[in-house]
Chains A and B, each alone.
Chain A
Amino acid sequence: MEALRTDSKQEIHPMENLLRMDRMPHIWCPTCGIGIAVTAFTAALEKAKIDPNTVSIVSGIGCTGRVAGYVKLDSFHTTHGRPIAFATGIKVASPKTKVVVFSGDGDLIAIGGNHFIHAARRNIDMLVVCVNNFIYAMTGGQVAPTTPLAAYATTSPYGCVEPPFNIPYLADSSGAVYVARWTTLHVRRLTNSLTEALQKKGFAVVEAISPCGMYYSRINRLGDGLDMMRFYHDNVEIRHGEDTKNLDIGFQTKIICGKFVDRERPSYMERYNQWLSDVKTAGRRSGGQRGSRK
C-alpha cells in the first residue's frame, strides 16, 4: 500500500487533503457503504467552501463511529451514544466552529436517542450524518432500532419483533430544520444534500442508508454489498418534500429517498442570545425589585 501511494502522483486520493492517509487502510469491510458516505461528505465540505480548519467532526462508537478517525479535521471519537451531547458542548462553547456528527443508527438513535431528540428540539446548529445499515455491525450483527420487522439479527434469531424507527419522522417531529435521506448509491445526490445541510443553520439530519455486506445482508441472505446496491437501484423512489410519516422502511421494501424538510427555526444560540439580552433589559428595568424579593 505504502509503495503504491508514494510511487506516482496519479495514485493520490482526490480527497487526500481531508483524509488521514497515514491511517489507511481503514477497518471497513469490502462493499461497506460507509466509505462512500465519507467521500460524499468530504466532497460536500469542499463544495460548500467551508474552511476545514473550522470544522470539528464527532463520532461515537460502531463502524460509522470510526469515521472521525479517518477524516483530517478536528476529530473526536467519543463514547457510545454521546456524540451529539459532546458536539453540543463544542458548539455552545465555541459557536464559530462548524460541528458535524457522523455516526451510525445504533449510536445516534438507540443509546443516543435522547440526545438526538433534545438537540433537534433545541435546534443546535450542527449537521448530523446518520449512516443507517440496519444493524449493529461492529459488535457482530445485533438487532438495531432501525432493523426492519422480521429481519434476522443475532439478537433476533427468530426475526426482529420491534418495528423500526423512521428516522426522518423522528427528526422532523422533534424539530430538525433539514431532513434528507439517501442511500450510498446516490453519491451525487447525497453530496448535494450534505452540501446544502452544511450551509443550513440549525439541526440538519441526513440519513445515509448503507449496505452492510458482512452482517445485515449475510444473516438475511441478501447477497453482498453489490447486491444491496442493485436492490437500492431498483427499489428506491425519490420523492422530495414527502410527508415524513410515510417514510417507514420494511424488510426489503421500497425505500423513499429525497429531501423532506427544509425550514427555518431560530437556533439554540439565537434563542440564547435573545434571552440574554431580554434578561439584561429586564434586569435593568426591575433589578431592584427582584433583589428585594429574596
Chain B
Amino acid sequence: MKANPKDVLTGIYYIDGDVASGYGALAAGCKFVAGYPITPSTEAFEAVCRRGPQVGAVFIQMEDELGSISAIVGAAWSGVKTMTITSGPGYSLMQECIGFGAMLETPFVLLNIQRGGPSTGVPTKTGQADIMQSRWGSHGDYELIALAPDSPQEMFDYTIKAFNLAEKYRCPVMIMSDECVGHMTEKVVIPEADGIEVEPRRLYTGPAEDYLPFKPEPDLVPKMAKAGDGLRLYITGLVHDERGYPVEDSAYKSKYVRRLVDKIRLNRNNIIELREEGTDDADVIVVSYGISSRVAVKGVEIAREKGIKVGTLRLVTVWPFPDDRMSELAKKARAFVVPEINYGQVVYDVARCAHGDANVVLVPHGGAGVHNPNDIADAIEMAVREEKKIEGLVEFKTRLQKSVFEGGFKLKE
C-alpha cells in the first residue's frame, strides 16, 4: 500500500532528526501521538503537534510517560497507528507498558532519543546506554524490534519502516536514536507519496463469531481487530489463550510466550537490516550503530591509511541481533572493534556471537559526547597487532582497572 499524499510533506528540507522523525510518523499514517516533553526528544512531539491537526492526526500531551504509553496502546486497539516519543527517564517509566504492548501483540512505535544517563544524567547530551534496556527493559520474556538511524534522513525513512515492521509483526518497535542524531540538522528528502510503501494493519475480516484474536497465521503473527467492531474482544495482559481468555497452565504459558519470542526470532532474516562494507576480506571489523557508526567512518579511514584491512558493519536493526552473520564473520576476521557510547552493551552480544573465533574490543565512551575517531583507529590498530586469541572481552582505554590490560593487549600511552 502507498502512503496517503495528504500525509506526506513532499520536498527537500533542512531539518533536524527529531522533526524528520515526526514527519516520518505522519507520512506512515500515524493518527495518534501521545507524548510528554522531555529533552532532547521534544522537537519531534512539537513537529507532530504543528502538523498533526492538518493531516487528521490527534495529539495529546499526557500527564506523564506512563499515561502516554498507556494511551497509545489503547489507541492502537481502536484501530489507528500510534507513536509515542520520549527519552532517558521517560523511557524507564514506559517499560511496564512496553511489556504490556508486547503481551497484547500491539503494534506501536516508540521513538527514544537517548541521552546521557543514568537518572537525570545529562539531558542535553548524547548517550547510547539505553540499548540493552530496549531489549530487556520490561519484565518477562518478549522480543521486539529496535532500529538505530544515524542521520535525519534515516530518521525519516526508518520511522516509516518502524511503523511497517510494527504492523507486520504486531509488536512494539523502538527507534533507538540518540541526541546527536535527534538534534543534527541536515538535508532531508521527503519523496512523493507513491514512493513511500506503508504496511496496512492486518485486520481480521471474517465472520465475528469465528474470530480468535491470538490465533497465529503461518508467519506466527495473529490478525488484529479493533474495538467497536462487535467482535466482543477480551484482551488481557495475563497469559491468554487464542480467544484471549486468561490461562494459568504452565504448558500453555510456555507455548504462548514461545510464540511471542519466536515470531520475531524466526522472522529475523526478514527483519534484520545491516550495512556492510569491506567485511569479506577484512582483518578487523568495526561493529557500530547510531551516531557511533558515523564517527567510526573517520576512525576506519585513519586505520586504512595505515594499511590495515578494515571492514565496517553497521547495525541498522540492533534487535533482533544478527547472530548468524556475526558468527560467520567471526570465522573470517581476526577481531571486532565495537565503539559505543556506554561502558559495554551491544559488545556482549558481539562477543557471544564470536564464539571465541575472533577477539572483541570494546571502545567505550562515558556519554555526553562522541568518540574521538583516533581512539577508534588506535583500537583497530591494537586489535590487528594482536595475533593470539584472547579469552573474554577487552576494553580499550579503560583507566580504572589496570589489570584488564595485563592479560591481553598492551596499551600504547
Contacts and interface: CB of A to CB of B under 8 A. Distances in A.
Q: Do chains A and B touch in the complex (CB under 8 A)?
A: yes
Interface of A: 61, 77, 79-81, 106, 110-111, 113, 136, 138-140, 142-143, 145, 154-158
A206 B108 CA distance: 41
B293 to A, nearest CB: 28
Contacts of A113: 63
Given A61-B120, A136-B37, A143 B50 contact: no
A59 to B, nearest CB: 11
Interface residue tally of chain B, by bracket?
10 to 19
A138 B50 CA distance: 20
Contact of B120 (A79, A139, A157): A79
Contacts of B120: 61, 77, 79-80
Interface core residue of A80, A106, A158 (most chain B CB under 10 Å): A80
B61 A143 contact: yes
A157 B42 contact: no
Contacts of B64: 81, 110-111
Contact of A155 (B37, B63, B65, B89): B37
Interface hub of A77, A110, A145 (most chain B Cβ within 10 A) = A110
Contacts of A138: 39
A142 B49 CA distance: 11
Contacts of A111: 36, 63-65
Contact of B35 (A79, A106, A145, A155): A155
Interface of B: 35-39, 42, 45-46, 49-50, 53, 59, 61, 63-65, 89, 119-120
A111 B37 CA distance: 11
Kindly name the residue among B39, B59, B63, B119 whose own CB sees the greatest number of chain A CB atoms within 10 A: B63
A77 B89 CA distance: 14
A110 B63 contact: yes
Q: Is the interface of A mostly helix, strand, loop or mixed?
A: loop
Nearest to B64: A111
Contacts of A140: 37, 39, 42
Contact of B89 (A79, A139, A157, A158): A79
A259 B63 CA distance: 27
Contacts of A61: 120
Contact of B38 (A77, A139, A154): A139
A64 to B, nearest CB: 15
A142 B119 contact: no
Nearest to A80: B89
B145 to A, nearest CB: 28
B46 A157 contact: yes
B63 A145 contact: yes
Contact of B49 (A77, A79, A155): A155
Nearest first, the 9 closest Cβ-Cβ pairs linking A and B are: A111-B64, A142-B37, A139-B37, A155-B49, A154-B46, A157-B50, A110-B63, A136-B37, A155-B61
A136 B36 CA distance: 10
A106 B64 CA distance: 10
